[in-house]
């Protein structure tokens, strides 16, 4: 990056103050849109005829304990698996490493409810009972560890190479270097990944219902829709909100402790550690098994169920696919823009109150999709908002944390001195964003956008509750057929979800291969 890249065009200096006002206005708008459903729910819970507030009620404690245990177990297992595989495929050399590195993205393509449904179906053919907490932990670990992998491996690939070279020259082995240098440097990213996986666990509905584990989200839905007690459901949703707040707070604390500024890759071309013997096949096994299970099992199930394939189910497959695709693209764009605004406001608008507000705005992830849907229906009715807009609003609110976590973590690695230099040279926030931050954040932006895309393609409760007439999506159709226990009819839409997810996962490959936080290569990319 040269000084010329940072120089603003004539007149930018004069425009800087009003544009920051624009940033403030936009950030406030995002916060308002994100918080409105939560506030509506709070009012609903506090003012409704059966007022509950934050209370667990019957079955609530068991649901809370099950959820906490799942979060801890899945978070722990996902952290170990994601970090280990992130390190092995980024900094070690063994046969098949390149393909196995790409394979770590495959689990993103498989929705947890599909994995659970296929395991139950396959199990019942073999007289195995796939049921209960252990299976739920396994399914959720398989479907969420990729978050930790994605965020940590990027750091392993590009950060601290010089320190690692120093370790190596002092005779420290791969695991020693990993534990003493790489792991502490990757902590913010690992923490962000664990927080994301924890939120996924708190929110998971289909898989835990199928496996018979009473978690907060399934109990909330039961209380709202089966017991006809929406106020009680919201009371329990507030408990879920507390768990997620704790997760996010823990992640921030972790990140603050290990704050280190770095400018992306320090040096290229350093040789990875070569693994041989049992280390080699151990690494291969560890990186092969999880993706093989999460993609291979649904494919095996599809292969065994081919004789149930129904031609009439294929007829509207294209329109289902187009709807899922377009919803996911729109939602990803919207969520990314909102997440970027919030992340930038932390750097450019130094009001502590605003930081707290934008922190709370990312809490939408904590609200179970079904409860968010209730809130949006309550808002959308009087405001006459079309169901499709409500749906996009819901997606953006639910998944705001996904790009925000990654962007926050990435911004932590960009030294504030760069912003100071940009400001000193007269860049407004918009110019600095365009010329400095966007090129540096291209990787996290792509990762965030694709994660939202995959999340929306797989998303169920919001889509189920808010879609308009004749607007079924792939996930809706799979869930409907699967809940009617009609495997044959669910087969093609399920395969198409896998295909879309795979497409998105494969689009992440260049990010993995290049190392995303590398500074812009030249002035051209700065203009982009």
Partner 1 sequence: MGVAAALGACSLGQQTPTLGVYSGRHYNTDQLLYRRFTEQTGIRIKLLEGTDNSLIERVRSEGSTTPADVLVLVDAARLEKATQLGLFQPLRSAALDRDVPANLRDSQGRWFALTRRVRLIVANPQRVDVGAIRTYEDLARPALKGQLCLRDNKSVYNQSLVADRLIQKGHAATTTWLRGLIANVNQPFFTSDIPMARAVAKGDCGVALVNSYYVARLLSGQSGAADRALASALKVILPDPSHVNVSGAGITRASRHPEAAARLLEFLASPSGGKGYAEANNEYPLKGYGDNPILRRFGPFRDDGVPIQELGAHNREAVQLMQANGWN
**Nearer residue to partner 1 within complex by CB, 268 or 470:** 470
Q: Looking at 76-84, 258-266, 321-329, 459-467, which segment touches partner 1 (CB under 8 A)? A: 459-467
Q: Is 483 in the site for partner 1 (CB under 8 A)?
A: yes
* Partner residues linked to 274 by β-bridges: 93
Q: Is 299 in the site for partner 1 (CB under 8 A)?
A: no
User: For residues 74 and 137, is the Cβ–Cβ distance under 8 A?
Assistant: yes
With CB under 8 A as the rule, give the number of residues binding partner 1.
49
**Nearer residue to partner 1 within complex by CB, 360 or 378:** 378
**Nearer residue to partner 1 within complex by CB, 52 or 477:** 477
Q: Is 149 in the site for partner 1 (CB under 8 A)?
A: no
Angle at 176 between CA 250 and CA 292, to 5 degrees: 70
Burial of 85 (0-12, 13-18, 19+ CB in 10 A): buried
Which residue in the set 19, 20, 168, 222 belongs to the binding site for partner 1 (CB under 8 A)? 222
SS3 11: coil
Which letter, b or e, does each residue of 500-522 get, where b requires 16 or more Cβ atoms within 10 Å of its Cβ? bbbebbeebeebbeebbbbebee
User: From the CB of 387, what's the least distance to partner 1, in Å?
Assistant: 9
Which residue in the set 171, 277, 352, 485 belongs to the binding site for partner 1 (CB under 8 A)? 485
Q: Is 40 in the site for partner 1 (CB under 8 A)?
A: no
Which residue in the set 486, 499, 506, 525 belongs to the binding site for partner 1 (CB under 8 A)? 486
User: From the CB of 47, what's the least distance to partner 1, in Å?
Assistant: 16
User: From the CB of 453, what's the least distance to partner 1, in Å?
Assistant: 24
* Partner residues linked to 128 by β-bridges: none
Q: How many CA atoms lie within 13 A of 58 on its CB side?
A: 4
Q: DSSP secondary structure string, 314-338?
A: HTTHHHHHHHHHHHHHHHHHHHHHH
Which residue in the set 420, 484, 513, 524 belongs to the binding site for partner 1 (CB under 8 A)? 484
SS3 444: helix
CA 268, CA 164: separation in Å to the nearest integer? 12
Angle at 327 between CA 511 and CA 320, to 5 degrees: 110
User: For residues 526 and 5, is the Cβ–Cβ distance under 8 A?
Assistant: yes
Q: Is 495 in the site for partner 1 (CB under 8 A)?
A: no
Which residue in the set 9, 76, 95, 132 belongs to the binding site for partner 1 (CB under 8 A)? 132
Q: Cβ contacts of residue 458 below 8 Å, gap of 6+?
A: 111, 475, 497, 501
User: From the CB of 483, what's the least distance to partner 1, in Å?
Assistant: 7
How far is residue 307 CA from its own chain's centroid?
36
H-helix or E-strand spanning residue 93: strand 92-93
Which residue in the set 94, 113, 224, 399 belongs to the binding site for partner 1 (CB under 8 A)? 224
Q: Looking at 91-99, 192-200, 352-360, 483-491, which segment touches partner 1 (CB under 8 A)? A: 483-491
Which residue in the set 135, 149, 393, 464 belongs to the binding site for partner 1 (CB under 8 A)? 464
CA 331, CA 475: separation in Å to the nearest integer? 15
Q: Is 469 in the site for partner 1 (CB under 8 A)?
A: yes
**Nearer residue to partner 1 within complex by CB, 1 or 205:** 205
Binding mask 109-128 for partner 1 (x = CB under 8 A): -----------xx-xxx-x-
Structure-block tokens of residue 396: 């953006």
Q: Is 489 in the site for partner 1 (CB under 8 A)?
A: yes
Q: Is 488 in the site for partner 1 (CB under 8 A)?
A: yes
Q: How many helices (H) and strands (E) are present in the chain, helices listed first?
A: 28, 2
User: From the CB of 221, what's the least distance to partner 1, in Å?
Assistant: 8
Q: Is 231 in the site for partner 1 (CB under 8 A)?
A: no
User: For residues 526 and 1, is the Cβ–Cβ distance under 8 A?
Assistant: yes
Q: Is 226 in the site for partner 1 (CB under 8 A)?
A: yes
User: For residues 341 and 20, is the Cβ–Cβ distance under 8 A?
Assistant: no
User: For residues 471 and 323, is the Cβ–Cβ distance under 8 A?
Assistant: yes
Q: Is 225 in the site for partner 1 (CB under 8 A)?
A: yes
Between residue 381 and residue 420, which ones bind partner 1 under the rule CB under 8 A? 381, 384
* Partner residues linked to 273 by β-bridges: 92
Between residue 198 and residue 217, which ones bind partner 1 under the rule CB under 8 A? 209-212
Between residue 352 and residue 381, which ones bind partner 1 under the rule CB under 8 A? 370, 374, 377-378, 381
* Footprint on this chain of partner 1 (rule: CB under 8 A): 120-121, 123-125, 127, 129, 131-132, 209-212, 222, 224-226, 228, 230, 305, 307-308, 310, 312-313, 315, 370, 374, 377-378, 381, 384, 464-465, 467-472, 480-481, 483-489
């Amino acid at each position: 990056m040269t000084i010329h890249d940072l120089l603003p065009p004539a007149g930018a200096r004069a425009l800087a103050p009003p544009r920051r006002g624009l940033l403030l206005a936009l950030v406030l708008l995002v916060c308002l849109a994100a918080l409105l459903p939560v506030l509506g729910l709070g009012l609903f819970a506090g003012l409704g005829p059966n007022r509950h507030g934050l209370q667990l009620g019957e079955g609530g404690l068991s649901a809370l304990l099950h959820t906490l245990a799942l979060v801890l177990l899945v978070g722990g297992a996902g952290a170990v698996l994601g970090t280990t595989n992130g390190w092995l495929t980024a900094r070690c050399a063994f046969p098949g490493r390149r393909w196995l590195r790409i394979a770590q993205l495959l689990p993103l393509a498989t929705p947890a409810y599909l994995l659970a449904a296929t395991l139950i179906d396959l199990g019942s053919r073999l007289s195995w009972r796939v049921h209960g907490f252990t299976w739920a932990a396994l399914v959720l670990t398989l479907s969420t560890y990729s978050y930790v992998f994605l965020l940590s491996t990027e750091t392993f690939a590009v950060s601290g190479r010089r320190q690692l070279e120093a370790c190596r020259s002092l005779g420290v082995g791969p695991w020693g270097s990993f534990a003493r240098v790489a792991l502490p440097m990757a902590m913010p990213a690992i923490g962000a990944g664990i927080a994301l996986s924890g939120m996924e666990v708190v929110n998971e509905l289909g898989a835990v219902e199928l496996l018979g584990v009473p978690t907060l989200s399934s109990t909330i839905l039961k209380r709202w829709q089966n017991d006809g007690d929406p106020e009680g459901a919201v009371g329990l949703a507030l408990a879920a909100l507390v768990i997620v707040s704790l997760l996010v707070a823990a992640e921030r604390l972790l990140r603050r402790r290990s704050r280190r500024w770095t400018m992306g890759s320090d040096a290229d071309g350093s040789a990875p550690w070569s693994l041989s013997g049992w280390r080699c096949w151990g690494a291969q096994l560890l990186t092969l098994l999880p993706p093989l299970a999460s993609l291979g099992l649904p494919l095996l199930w599809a292969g065994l169920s081919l004789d149930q394939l129904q031609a009439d189910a294929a007829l509207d497959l294209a329109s289902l696919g187009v709807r899922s695709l377009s919803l996911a693209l729109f939602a990803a764009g919207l969520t990314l823009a909102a997440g970027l605004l919030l992340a930038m406001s932390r750097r450019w608008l130094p009001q502590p109150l605003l930081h707290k507000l934008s922190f709370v705005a990312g809490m939408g992830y904590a609200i179970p999709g079904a409860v968010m849907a209730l809130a949006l229906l309550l808002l959308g009715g009087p405001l006459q908002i079309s169901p499709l807009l409500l749906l996009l609003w819901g997606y953006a609110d639910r998944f705001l944390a996904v790009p925000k976590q990654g962007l926050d973590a990435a911004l932590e690695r960009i030294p504030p001195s760069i912003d100071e230099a940009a400001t000193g040279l007269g860049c407004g926030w918009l110019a600095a964003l365009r010329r400095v931050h966007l090129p540096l954040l291209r990787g996290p932006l792509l990762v965030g956008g694709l994660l939202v895309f995959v999340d929306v393609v797989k998303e169920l409760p919001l889509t189920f509750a808010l879609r308009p007439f004749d607007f079924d999506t792939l996930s809706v159709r799979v869930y409907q057929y699967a809940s009617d226990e009609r495997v044959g009819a669910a087969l093609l839409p399920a395969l198409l979800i896998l295909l879309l997810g795979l497409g998105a996962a494969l689009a992440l490959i260049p990010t993995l291969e290049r190392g995303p936080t590398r500074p812009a290569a030249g002035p051209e990319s700065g203009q982009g």
